[in-house]
Amino acid sequence: MRKLIAGNWKMNGLVSSLAEIEALKGLTGSAACDIVVCPPFTLIDRAVRQAVGSPLSVGAQDCHAQANGAFTGDVSAEMLADSGARYIILGHSERRVSHGEDDEIVLAKVRAAHRAGLTTIVCIGETRHERDEGRAIEVVNEQLAGSVPGETDSRNLVIAYEPVWAIGTGLVPTHEQIEEVHATIRKGLEQRFGHDGRAVRILYGGSVKGVNAAAIFGLRNVDGALVGGASLNASDFAEIVLAAT
């Protein structure tokens, strides 16, 4: 399966940061994987213009579930698609925790994004406490079942397994732990979408760097990565992209 490497800039990036996209274009010209950069809302339009004619796509990090209306400060999936975004990260643990987004809210946003024609990168993953309690698989299954609409076109779907305790910490699960969770997700996708579930890409996210990327990409059912910190710097991100090709 063609791998997908997505960079989540989170709440980082000013106009001057677009230089990283320019540099990334130069560094990843030979890459044989899909590459997505998800800057903050304010940079999406500019990033899209900058990516024209390159293999880079642009994504967003959140949306409102409604197409429009009296929702001060929010941005809809339709607006993002209109700005040229093609992907969207939804259900990131930082939003689940700091904005109280539960599976029901994430599900509504995934539906909204699909309605607008965006490809969703739906994040799921257990906390340290849940893993210590032996509940990682249960939590991932629950989030997968609750956050992904059954009626959706699986071609617009990407899942990212992001163990919360591995995000921004430098900690990475063992290869066995990653394979176990990814196999569980694959099984859930096949139960839901039948044969089409095999074609849904499952990304790993959480402290992916140039040094560990190739080994992670060699694991079964790992179809790419969702990268935080290392996506902010073009050469660090390019190292990960090139490890996937």
Catalytic annotation, residues: 92, 162
Q: Which of 143, 147, 184, 207 binds ligand 13P (CB under 6 A)?
A: 207
Task: Tell me if 61 contacts ligand 13P by CB under 6 A.
Answer: no
φ, ψ (nearest 5 deg) of residue 218: -80, -5
User: How many residues can be counted in the chain?
Assistant: 245
Contact call for residues 207 and 171 (beta carbons, < 8 A): yes
Q: How far apart are the first and last CA of the chain?
A: 11
Give the number of other Cβ atoms within 10 Å of residue 7's Cβ: 29
d(CA 167, CA 147): 20
Nearer to ligand 13P, 8 or 184 (CB): 8
One of 26, 29, 117, 168 touching ligand 13P (CB under 6 A)? 168
* 208 part of the interface to ligand 13P, by CB under 6 A: yes
Q: Is 167 in the site for ligand 13P (CB under 6 A)?
A: yes
Instruction: Read off the tokens for 179.
Output: 């394979």
Nearer to ligand 13P, 96 or 192 (CB): 96
* CB 121, min distance to ligand 13P, A: 9
Task: Using the rule CB under 6 A, give the single segment among 39-47, 105-113, 195-203, 205-213 that binds ligand 13P.
Answer: 205-213
Hey, which residues between 209 and 228 contact ligand 13P (CB under 6 A)? 226-228
CA torsion 148-90-33-139 (nearest 10°) is: -60
Token code pair at residue 34:
């899909």
The SS3 assignment for 203 reads: strand
Using CB under 6 A as the binding criterion, the count of chain residues that bind ligand 13P stands at: 14
Q: Which is nearer to ligand 13P, 78 or 90 (CB)?
A: 90
DSSP strands (E only) in 186-232: 201-205, 224-227
Question: Could you say whether residue 205 binds ligand 13P (CB under 6 A)?
Answer: yes
Residues near ligand 13P (CB under 6 A): 8, 92, 162, 167-168, 205-208, 226-230
